[in-house]
């Protein structure tokens, strides 16, 4: 492969990534199998950093030297680039599964989805159901001119359930379950399906939300989405360096209430955003982004760490071998404390309990956001009352963080895929129930 010759090129840093993805997907809709697919992608990429950054990739390993020369020539153009150097690492890591993917054949997977479909069919007003089951095993080998030789094998499994309910109108709800694990991650799938069905049915009798500024309690899923979208993107150091973040030049400053501590942690076992090493060969680590209200860290690549004079955090990730690593989150969550749910709502005379997210808009440069919640409930005199639908939560990120006056003792993580610069990577987000003040309106 001429690997040694490539790694000894005259440059600030040379990296080679070789990656294989094995994926299987089954889609079932209304008791019928609609898709069964299996795929393999294999490829190699070379990144050279010197005066500029050169990057090239191919799905044929025989092209390795050719793409290395292409990346090398590109890297010799432009102003001198500096990257934070790391220690050479030689390691091989494999996530071990209790029930490996290869132990469950396609027929068994189909039967599993049909069993989930039968659960949803038991709900009379659920008129349509769809399920998808996906497994992906990724094997990545990383080599660098620093002397690193790293191999990691990571399996990911996920199931998505979407249910439609009809009465006088149609409402839908969805739930995901998944992990970096084998089929053992799906052991609570029945509960996942029931949650989706029951939410869709509640939305049929839900009313439109009140509008205004309220004391609100966010469930762990919505807490996680808020932390990921409104804060997490603002601490990505490429946004900070480009003055596209409300948190630029705020390290060490207080940006949240004393009870707020937020982590980004790719080492969280089983989590969807888990990895051993990032795509620049930097070891994954748990780091406090916000600690007791103070901004402690940005998330870095080698380039941003050098540019901003910071330590490496292991947050450079690429969608696949053909994508260049950029600064990304992994698992971002708020540390739980000691409030029970009953204690969170008992002092609220009139407020809202908001759950989940169906998407929204975030501007990290201005520090504002707007999310569409999956559902909500009125809180009146410390009790949960009628359900509400089409709820939009909005506000200023720093104001919401500073207004958090209680954090629950519960904790859960949720799975997703985060998009940035045209790349999607698996992530986790979550935390506990929180209480704060925010503006609420109708559908967005």
- List the strands of the sheet with 423-431, edge to edge: 294-295, 287-291, 262-264, 331-334, 423-431, 412-420
Torsion on CA atoms 289, 421, 153, 412, rounded to nearest 10? 40
Residue 46 exposure: Cα atoms within 13 Å on the Cβ side: 32
The answer to whether the CB of 48 falls within 8 A of the CB of 13 is: yes
Spatial separation of the C-alpha atoms in residues 16 and 147, rounded to whole Å: 11
Per-residue pLDDT of the chain (444 residues; tens, 9 = 90+): 689 999 999 999 999 999 999 999 999 999 999 999 999 999 999 999 999 999 999 999 999 999 999 999 999 997 788 899 989 999 999 999 999 999 999 999 999 999 999 999 999 999 999 999 999 999 999 999 999 999 999 999 999 999 999 998 999 999 999 999 999 999 999 999 999 999 999 999 999 999 999 999 999 999 999 999 999 999 999 999 999 999 999 999 999 999 999 999 999 999 999 999 999 999 999 999 999 999 999 999 999 999 999 999 999 999 999 999 999 999 999 999 999 999 999 999 999 999 999 988 899 999 999 999 999 999 999 999 999 999 999 999 999 999 999 999 999 999 999 999 999 999 999 999 999 999 998 665
Please report, for the chain, the start and end positions of each structural domain, with discontinuous segments joined by +.
3-204, 212-441
Helix axes 106-121, 189-204, angle to 10 degrees: 30
DSSP secondary-structure letter at 232?
I
pTM metric for this prediction: 0.95
DSSP secondary-structure letter at 405?
-
Two tokens at 90?
A: 């030689």
CA angle 166, 167, 170 (to 5 degrees): 40
Task: Burial-class residue 33 by CB neighbours within 10 Å (0-12, 13-18, 19+).
Answer: middle
Spatial separation of the C-alpha atoms in residues 60 and 54, rounded to whole Å: 19
Local structure of 81: helix, strand or coil: coil
CATH superfamily of 3-204: PmbA/TldD superfamily (3.30.2290.10)
């Amino acid at each position: 492969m001429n690997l040694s010759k490539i790694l000894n090129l005259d440059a600030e840093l040379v990296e080679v990534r070789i990656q294989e993805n094995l994926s299987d997907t089954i889609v079932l809709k209304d008791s019928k199998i609609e898709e069964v697919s299996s795929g393999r992608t294999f490829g190699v990429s070379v990144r050279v950093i010197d005066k500029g950054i050169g990057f090239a990739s191919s799905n044929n390993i025989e092209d390795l030297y050719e793409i290395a020369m292409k990346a090398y020539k590109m890297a010799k153009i432009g102003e001198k680039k500096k990257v934070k150097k790391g220690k050479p690492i030689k390691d091989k890591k494999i996530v071990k599964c209790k029930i490996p993917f290869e132990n469950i054949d396609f027929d068994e997977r189909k039967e599993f989805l049909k069993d989930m479909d039968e659960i949803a069919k038991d709900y009379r007003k659920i008129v349509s159901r769809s399920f998808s089951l996906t497994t992906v095993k990724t094997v990545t080998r990383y080599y660098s001119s620093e002397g690193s030789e790293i191999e990691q094998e990571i399996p990911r499994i996920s199931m998505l359930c979407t249910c439609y309910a009809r009465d006088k109108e149609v409402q839908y709800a969805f739930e995901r379950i998944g992990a970096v694990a084998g089929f053992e991650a799906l052991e609570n799938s029945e509960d996942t399906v029931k949650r989706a069905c029951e939410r869709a049915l509640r939305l049929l009798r839900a009313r439109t939300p009140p509008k205004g500024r309220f004391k609100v309690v966010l469930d762990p899923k919505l807490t996680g989405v808020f932390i990921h979208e409104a804060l997490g993107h603002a601490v990505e150091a490429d946004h900070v360096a480009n003055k596209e973040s409300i948190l630029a030049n705020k390290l060490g400053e207080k940006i949240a209430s004393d009870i707020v501590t937020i982590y980004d942690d790719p080492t969280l076992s089983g989590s969807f955003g888990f990895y051993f090493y990032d795509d620049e060969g930097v070891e994954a680590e748990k780091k406090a982004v916000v600690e007791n209200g103070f901004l402690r860290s940005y998330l870095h690549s080698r380039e941003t760490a050098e540019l901003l004079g910071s330590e490496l955090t292991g947050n450079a990730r690429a969608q696949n071998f053909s994508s260049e690593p950029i600064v990304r989150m992994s698992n971002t969550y708020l540390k739980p404390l000691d409030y029970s749910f009953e204690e969170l709502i008992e002092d609220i005379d009139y407020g809202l309990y908001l759950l989940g997210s169906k998407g929204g808009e975030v501007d990290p440069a201005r520090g504002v956001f707007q999310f569409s919640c999956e559902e909500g409930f009125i809180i009146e005199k410390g009790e949960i009352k009628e359900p509400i639908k089409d709820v939009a939560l909005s506000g200023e990120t720093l104001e919401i963080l500073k207004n958090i006056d209680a954090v629950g003792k519960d904790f859960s993580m949720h799975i997703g895929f985060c998009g940035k610069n045209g790349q999607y990577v698996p992530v986790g987000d979550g935390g506990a129930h929180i209480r704060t003040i925010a503006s609420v309106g109708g559908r967005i």
